[in-house]
Amino acid sequence: MKRMTTIMTISALTACLLGAASSARAAPATAAEWGGNVLVSWSVPGGTAAGVTSLTFPLTVAPETARLSGTYFAQQFGFTHATKVGYTGLQPRPDANGHARIRGVFSSFIPGTVTAHPNCHDGADGGPGVSCGVEFDAVYGHTYDMVVTADGLDTWSGHAVDTVTGAAEHIGTWTLPSGSGSLTAHGQGFAEYYAGSSCDDQLFYDVAYGAPRAGELTGTTSYEREYGGCVGSGRTTVTDTGQGGVHLTRGTVGRPAAHLYSATRGRDGITVRGWAQPGSRLKTTNDPGQGWFDPESGLVLAAADGSFTLVTDRTIDGQAAVTSFDPTSGAALTESNHIDVTP
């Protein structure tokens, strides 16, 4: 996944956004309000006032994401003649029978929506509408296209399509009240932690929201702001993917012992930033078979909050990676994710 070099933590972003808070868009009413939430917005320029008949939202949930119930990554969509919205997205689930699992969601919050699909039931988040969901074997790290398509007059279907294998999961189908219209070509989305009740319990996630599509048209997804009761507490990072999308990381629980979020090549080498077990010793290598070594400039330990920055010329097959070690015993803890090095 391409990642640009501009990385900002939420504490910095919050300061930038304070002056614009009064004009910021309201948080999605369909997302949990109490906890660790991040708001994004999307649009597909070129869509007409009459709306469009399909939308595709790429989502990539990285392997480092905590595979536990409690987080949700979604994009909302509206209709030209309806005041409420629908949404579609992915929710991590625990592994089962040796397979990674994820849940696809496709819901309408429009009163009068009906369904006969076996994956769906009446009601949406305690209000009117219809909710559809299905768990399936998934590959974390693959991009899934969350596809919304017209399936008859005022009838809409949601699918999750693995863009690597082509496997498609039909999440559900529902029918809106007559005259609800076509899909609008702009909206909002969110990443949320909906389980638990403490900001200290936020599950770790690493997710990219790709450029949305409407037929042959392609748009963009952008970061808006944090909202909810845990603003500033989630160690959130936000990165422009450089391809019309946004990459987010947030949370601590279930986070791997070492995780990289940026690697930038500069005059002095590759600057690598990430999180690791506080106090752990970070090492790099060109070949894991030959061992792991302190960065060329010397010993690097993760700070008390787990953050670290190091500079190295070493890569594994052209990608940055580190392994964290116990600073006392020297025992290896965890090898990090491998990420591309950006110019």
Rounded-to-integer distance, Cα 46 and Cα 78, Å: 16
- So what's the pLDDT on residue 251? 87
**Phi, psi for residue 19 in degrees, rounded to 5:** -70, -20
Percentage of the chain exceeding pLDDT 70: 88
- In tens, the pLDDT along 107-144 reads 999 999 999 999 999 999 889 999 999 999 999 989 99
Write the DSSP string, 9-45: EHHHHHHHHGGGGGGSPPPPTTS-SSS-EEEEEEE-T
The contacts of residue 80 (CB under 8 Å, 6+ apart) are 49, 50, 51, 180, 181, 182, 183, 184
Instruction: Name the band, by pLDDT with cuts 50, 70 and 90, for residue 35.
Output: low
The amino acid at 209: Y
Comparing 75-89, 194-208, 233-247, 279-293, which segment has the lowest mean pLDDT? 194-208
| Predicted local distance difference test score (pLDDT) of residue 47 | 76
Domains of the chain as residue ranges with CATH: 7-250 (2.60.120.1270), 258-340 (2.60.40.10)
